[in-house]
Amino acid sequence: MTPVLLFLLLSLMSRTVFSAPPNAADEDPDLESMDISEILETANKGLDSREFPDGDIRVNRKRNAVPCTARGCKWPKSRWSRYVYIPVRISWSFSRAERNVIIRSLVSFYRSTCIRFRWRSYQRDYLSFYPGTGCWSYLGRQGGRQLISLQKRGCVYTRTVQHEVLHALGFHHEQVRSDRDQHVSILYQNIQPGRAHNFRKVATNNLGTPYDYNSVMHYGRFAFSKNRQPTIIPKPNANAVIGRASRMSANDIKRVNILYQCSESKLKTRFSELLSETITHSS
């Protein structure tokens, strides 16, 4: 095969975008009552807090501790495309149903963002979903193979996949936002010993978007509680519902579009074309 043909073939493979598989497995109805922080807290009990100082965000010891807002943290958008293509691999240790939940969750980004996932072929940087211990992700693009752990029992749900992918896209937890003190109170007296690091405020770039109780990145009212008393209380309305999102919120989507400079008008005109994109998922 000539180098030109090989290049064309690899280019075609690398641009292959997948869409949601049919008959994807339904999620466990028992989990419908759990919020994202309950899911994470349950699955991540055994994780070492030195490796995970921000809950389910893993520290990369190979990189220095520059904030994710620094350059190099975003996934690149090629100059000639309106989309941000992120190569992915999904471990074959997941069952077909689990793979379908993951794929369906990834495809959920297509409707209203310019993020697209494609099967990794030769790309250097990619997300690798595997059934490790707990549900966790790194913050932003790390370079090379970047793991996202989705423990088989307890993590393979749409909101968990969306949550961990949003970390990998560069987003922090909502309740650690730089402006969180205007919107929530943290009740440290109710937090389990050794878990206060989960509530450490971060100098986030909020991209001009409002604080969002309904973000899939927001923990629940009783996150890491030691005594069944709340650890996060919204204000000024203490009864507002917080951290119960079962899917990405409109603000979660808006932030992706701002950070990755997705053009909404172009997205709308291209939406019909998405429907014709083929399934390349084989199992």
Minimal distance, residue 217 CB to Zn ion, in Å: 7
Cβ neighbours of 13 (radius 10 Å): 14
Measured CA to CA, the distance from residue 252 to residue 203 in angstroms comes to 18
Tell me the C-alpha to C-alpha distance, in Å, between residue 247 and each of 72, 76, 157, 223, 260.
28, 25, 10, 18, 20
Minimal distance, residue 167 CB to Zn ion, in Å: 6
Q: For residue 58, report the phi and psi dihedrals to the nearest 5 degrees.
A: -85, 140
Kindly tell me which of 35 and 56 has the beta carbon lying closer to Zn ion: 56
Please answer whether residues 279 and 24 qualify as being in contact, where contact means their C-beta atoms are separated by less than 8 angstroms: no
Residues whose CB is less than 8 angstroms from the CB of residue 113 and which lie 6 or more positions away in sequence, other chains included? 253, 256, 257, 260, 262, 267
Minimal distance, residue 110 CB to Zn ion, in Å: 22
Kindly tell me which of 120 and 141 has the beta carbon lying closer to Zn ion: 141
- Compute the Cα dihedral for 262, 266, 272, 276 and give only its sign: negative
What does R_g of the chain's alpha carbons equal in angstroms? 19
Site of interaction with Zn ion (CB under 5 A):
56
Kindly tell me which of 98 and 164 has the beta carbon lying closer to Zn ion: 164
Closest-approach residue to Zn ion (CB): 56
Minimal distance, residue 84 CB to Zn ion, in Å: 21
Minimal distance, residue 163 CB to Zn ion, in Å: 5
Active site residues: 164
Kindly tell me which of 88 and 155 has the beta carbon lying closer to Zn ion: 155
Kindly tell me which of 19 and 44 has the beta carbon lying closer to Zn ion: 44
